[in-house]
C-alpha cells in the first residue's frame, strides 16, 4: 500500500523573517531535523536572509502539528500557505530537513509559488541545489 493511502500529505509555505527576533538558522535546522525524524516528516527549507520557504511531507496529522508550531514561531511573520494536499510520494524522501539556502538559480520553486499563490517574494529567492548544505540522511 502506498504512503498516500496512509494519509501522506505535502505542504509548502512562505513567510517573512521577523527581524525583531533573533534567528539562529543552525538551531532551527537541528530542531527541525529532530522533530521531523520523530514524526515521520521529510522536507526542505530555503532561506534568503529575508524570507523562508519550506516544504514538508509526511502523515497529515504530523504535518499539521509541525505547521501549527511554525505558525506560532516568533521568527516568522506573514506566513502564507501555498498548498497543503495529499500526495502519492515524497519528493525529499531521503532528508529529514534539507537546506538549500538562497533561491538564485532554479526558477521551479518560484514558478510554483507565483502560479499557486501570486506570492510576492524577494528577487533573491531562487532555489539553488548547488547550495545544498549538510543534511541528515534517513537510515537505509
Per-residue pLDDT at 4: 46
pLDDT of residue 37: 95
What's the predicted TM-score (pTM) here? 0.72
Directed axis angle between helix 60-72 and helix 25-39, to 10°? Answer: 160
What is the mean pLDDT of the segment spanning 9-30? 90
pLDDT-based confidence at residue 131 (cuts at 50, 70, 90):
very low
pLDDT digits (tens, 9 = 90+) for 103-123: 544 456 555 555 544 444 443
**Where does residue 111 rank: exposed (0-12), middle (13-18), buried (19+ CB within 10 A)?**
exposed
Q: Kindly state the average pLDDT of the residues 67-73.
A: 92
Amino acid at each position: 500500500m502506498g504512503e498516500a493511502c496512509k494519509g501522506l500529505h505535502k505542504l509548502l509555505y512562505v513567510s517573512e523573517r521577523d527581524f525583531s527576533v533573533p534567528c539562529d538558522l543552525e538551531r532551527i535546522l537541528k530542531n527541525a531535523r529532530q522533530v521531523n525524524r520523530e514524526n515521520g516528516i521529510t522536507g526542505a527549507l530555503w532561506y534568503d536572509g529575508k524570507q523562508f520557504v519550506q516544504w514538508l511531507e509526511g502523515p497529515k496529522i504530523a504535518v499539521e502539528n509541525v505547521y501549527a508550531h511554525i505558525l506560532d514561531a516568533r521568527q516568522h511573520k506573514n506566513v502564507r500557505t501555498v498548498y497543503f494536499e495529499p500526495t502519492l510520494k515524497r519528493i525529499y524522501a531521503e532528508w529529514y530537513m534539507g537546506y538549500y539556502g538562497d533561491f538564485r538559480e532554479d526558477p521551479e520553486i518560484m514558478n510554483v509559488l507565483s502560479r499557486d499563490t501570486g506570492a510576492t517574494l524577494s528577487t533573491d529567492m531562487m532555489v539553488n541545489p548547488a547550495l545544498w548544505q549538510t543534511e541528515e540522511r534517513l537510515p537505509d
